[in-house]
Structure formats: structure tokens, C-alpha cells
Chains A and B, each alone.
Chain A
């Protein structure tokens, strides 16, 4: 519905056009599934190859993976705290790596070489459904973290400094997934749009620095998503006195 999408001559960008798959009576966006499966496959291959023959002196892929592990551990430890960060490190790491690989994979892999009947392949995170799913996972996990660590005392958090805060904290539970998902979706889609519009106006040289800026912001958005997820979990498990 809506307008017929803008078709740029060089960089076709079809917002709101999807490759629909019918699954029962649900229509799903096939192009998102295709790209995310490919990227998950690439990520899994990298991890399996890197951990197959582990050595005391890491080199090559193993070195890269250990660097990533350190990075994610530091992120989780600073946000969640020394006591429970180990339980949540895999979750935070998965979020970070999946979002990072989707953002960069959407920008760097020449998806246009593969033609689809409708819609086009691109970053899975440029689809609102993916980001909402990820954000709702974060919501569920911080509730779970709070309840499993502190039991019903978790709800003390809602009245923590004063009971006046109660409505704000309840509203916050809804705005957290909203802002998480919209931030990621909007940033990735905006990157793609800006590059497409620039390619449309000046097809040579000029879009390249903007593409690099896009890569940079996508990396930052992956970091922000993971940091915020860890922060919310840390907020839920934190002990008040």
C-alpha cells in the first residue's frame, strides 16, 4: 500500500517492497530470512573454524575470536556487574555479533547480484520485524534476570527511591523495547537511504565517504544495542539497600 516505491536508476531501493512467503496464514518477509540465514551461517562457520584447533598461542581466527570474547566480557562486566555477568555474557555476545554482522553484511556484501522476484536483499536489521524481535528478547531477558536473581523483590525496583516513580518505571518498560528497536531500524535504514539518494544524485566517488560513515554508525549501533541490553539487565539484577 502507499506510494509505488521510488526506483533509483543505479541503486534500486525498494522501501516497503518485500519477497513474501506464505506460511499458514502468516505472510513473512522472505528476503530477511534469506540474508539472516546466510549471515548466521557465515558467523557460525567463522566460530567453528576458529575453535577447531585451539592452541595456547592464539593466531589467525582464534586470535580474533579471543579478542572479541575479551571485548564482550568487558562490556558485560562493566554493565551487569561482577556477580552475574557470566550468565548473560553469551546473550549479550550473540546480540552484538548478530547485529554487527547483519549491519556490515548488509552494507558490504553485493546483494544486488542476486535477483529476487520482488524486494531486494539487504541488512536483516533494516527490517522493523527483526529489530522488534531482538528488543522484545531483551525485555524478556531483563525481567527473567531480575525475577530469577531477586525473586519477587525485583518489584522493589519499581518503587525504589520513592513510590512516586512507579508510573514512570512502568512506562519505561514499554519505551525500552520501543526505543531499542526503532533506534537500530532507523539508523540502518537511514544509512541505506542516504547512500541510495547520493548514488542517485552523484554516482561517482562522492558516496564512498558516506558509505564509510555508514559502516562506522552501524558498528556503533551494534555496540549501543548490546550495551543497552546489558545495562537493562544490570539494572534489573542490581541490589538496592
Chain B
């Protein structure tokens, strides 16, 4: 692999994870906010809210994970490495 491809791949891998974390971060924040408000209003529903919250967290987190998968492909299985 020539050095320019290496450099571009490493930078792209960093960006893929870093930028990919922004959206789900905001999303998880607002989901947690909603859950806390829900628990404050109705403490007896805590168990149900927690379950739903964790499930939706996992969905949001998988968006970042897609970025990570792209980063890992760039680092370990780069299709452009000649």
C-alpha cells in the first residue's frame, strides 16, 4: 500500500467513527431526557421505561457501529491496498 492511501485510510477511519458518533450522541441524549422525564412523572413505570430505553439505545448505537465497521474495513481489509 503506498503512503498516500495509508494516510487517507487512517484519516478516513478516524473521521468515520468521530462523525458517526455525533448523531447517535444527540439522539441518545434526547432519548435519555425523555426517559428521565417519564420516570419523574410516573415513577412506577420505571421498569418498562428502562427496557424500552435500552432497546432504543442499542438501535441508535448501531449507527455509530456502522461507522466503526467502515473504519475497521479501511484499517484491516482495505480494498484499495494494491
The CA of A26 and the CA of B54, in the complex, are separated in Å by 40
Q: A7 on the interface (CB 8 Å rule)?
A: no
Task: Check if B35 is an interface residue, CB within 8 A of chain A.
Answer: no
1/0 per residue, CB under 8 A from A, across B40-65: the answer is 00000000000000110011011001
Provided the pairs A179-B62, A182-B65 are in contact, do residues A224 and B76 lie with their beta carbons within 8 angstroms? no
**Does chain B have a CB within 8 A of A217?**
yes
Q: Nearest-CB distance from A180 to chain B (Å)?
A: 10
Query: A183, B62: Cβ atoms under 8 Å?
Result: yes
Is A186 a contact partner of B69 (Cβ separation < 8 A)? Answer: yes
Asked whether A16 and B55 contact (CB < 8 A) given A183-B62, A190-B68, the answer is: no
A177 CB, min distance to chain B CBs, angstroms: 14
Residues of chain B lying within 8 A (CB to CB) of residue A182: 62, 65-66, 69
Q: Which of B61, B76, B77 is most buried by chain A, counting CB atoms within 10 A of its CB?
A: B76
Cβ of B28 < 8 Å from any Cβ of A? no
Residues in A neighbouring B72, C-beta threshold 8 A: 15, 189, 193
**A16 and B72 alpha carbons, distance in the complex (Å):** 10
Complex Cα spacing A176 to B78, Å: 25
Which residues of chain A have C-beta atoms less than 8 A from B75's C-beta? 2-3, 15
Taken together as a complex, chains A and B put the C-alpha atoms of A91 and B1 apart, in Å, by 44
Whether, in the assembled complex, A63 has its beta carbon less than 8 Å from a beta carbon of chain B, the answer is no
Known: A217-B58, A220-B55. A186 touches B65 (CB 8 A): yes
State which residues 180-201 of A face B: CB under 8 Å: 182-183, 185-187, 189-190, 193
Decide: B62 and A220 in contact? CB cutoff 8 A: no
Interface residues of A in 208-235 (CB under 8 A from B): 217, 220-221, 223-224, 227
Q: Assess A3 versus B76: contact at CB under 8 Å? Given A185-B69, A186-B69, A224-B55.
A: yes
Q: Which residues of B contact A2 (CB under 8 A)?
A: 1, 75-78, 81
Q: Select B76's contact among A5, A185, A186, A227, beta carbons within 8 Å.
A: A5
Q: From residue A129, how far is it (CB to closest CB) to chain B in Å? A: 13
Complexed CA–CA distance, A182 and B68 (Å) = 10
Bound CA span A182–B66, Å? 7
Which of A185, A193, A224 is close to B59, meaning CB atoms less than 8 Å apart? A224
Given A1-B81, A16-B76, A187-B58: 12 more A-B contacts, CB < 8 Å: A2-B75, A2-B81, A182-B62, A182-B66, A185-B69, A186-B62, A187-B62, A189-B72, A190-B65, A193-B72, A217-B58, A220-B55
- Top 4 closest pairs, chain A to chain B, by CB: A186-B65, A183-B62, A16-B76, A186-B69
Contacts from A to B (Cβ < 8 Å)? 1-3, 5, 15-16, 179, 182-183, 185-187, 189-190, 193, 217, 220-221, 223-224, 227
6 A-B pairs whose Cβ atoms sit less than 8 Å apart in the complex = A5-B76, A15-B72, A183-B66, A190-B68, A217-B61, A224-B59
